[in-house]
Amino acid sequence: MSPSAERHRSHRIGWLRAAVLGANDGIVSTSSLVVGVAAANSGRNNVMIAGIAGLVAGAISMAAGEYVSVSSQSDTENADLELERRALDATPDVELRELQAIYVARGLEPELALRVAQQLTARGDLSAHARDELGISEITAARPIQAAFTSATTFSVGAALPLVTVAVSPFASVIKAVSVLSLLFLAVLGIIAARAGGASIVRGAVRVTFWGALAMAVTAVIGKLFGGIV
């Protein structure tokens, strides 16, 4: 296979993680919520109100959580880059030898490692150290706004699926309908995420459906218990 024919997936890491997390959380949390409320012998209106509230609160929470979390990562990366920039200005020879040592540790001969370090330093010393010393690259760099928007959007889409199921299903069978269809949605999500990331589609489907089934089972039991008490 020629190099141009290879299709790498590393560039998808940032948005794919946020998208899968958002959609998975949207389906699992909302379906579990409506199943729990329905199991407590609430009416359709109460189930829908709880589900819609969960969708809105969850989407905002996902956006805020992703933004804060990824912003913290970005702040750390920027702080490390600034520290590296100062070191390059103050002691460029030491930093050059440090880069050489990294390449030697990866298997290059010392003389070749020094030449590689010199050439990469000439082309961009900070980018060379960011990539090879700090592990920061364009692919893995934190993008808070992208992560927040992606998570909120996919959470909303995922949460809408069990709500639509509640709206169109006979209420007597709403728990069964939401449970079955939500697990189906989760399996499809796992397959899509696995294909996008180049992983096993069976493993991708199983790992998301298992936790979704567990969450719905627990909330159904809790809803049934509290519904009986109330």
Using one digit for the tens of pLDDT, what is the confidence trace for 35-55?
A: 989 888 778 999 999 999 999
186 three-class SS: helix
Q: Residue 21 is encoded by which pair of tokens? A: 């997390």
Q: What is the mean pLDDT of the segment spanning 168-196?
A: 87
Report the distance separating Cα 199 and Cα 194, nearest Å: 5
Kindly report each contact of residues 164-170 with a partner whose C-beta sits within 8 Å and lies 24 or more positions away, as own/partner: 166/34, 166/38, 166/44, 166/47, 166/48, 166/51, 167/48
Q: What's the mean pLDDT when you consider all of the chain?
A: 84
pLDDT at 168: 92
Q: What is the mean pLDDT of the segment spanning 156-162?
A: 93
CA angle 126, 12, 23 (to 5 degrees): 130
Question: Taking Cα atoms as reference points, which of 221, 189, 220 lies closest to residue 206?
Answer: 189
State the virtual CA torsion across 23, 9, 146, 128 in degrees, nearest 10. 150
- 190: buried, middle or exposed (CB in 10 Å: 19+, 13-18, 0-12)? buried
Q: What is the mean pLDDT of the segment spanning 83-98?
A: 90
| pTM score, whole prediction | 0.70
Of 8-22, 144-158, 188-202, least confident by mean pLDDT is: 8-22
pLDDT at 14: 54
pLDDT at 59: 93
Tell me the residue type at 160. Answer: A
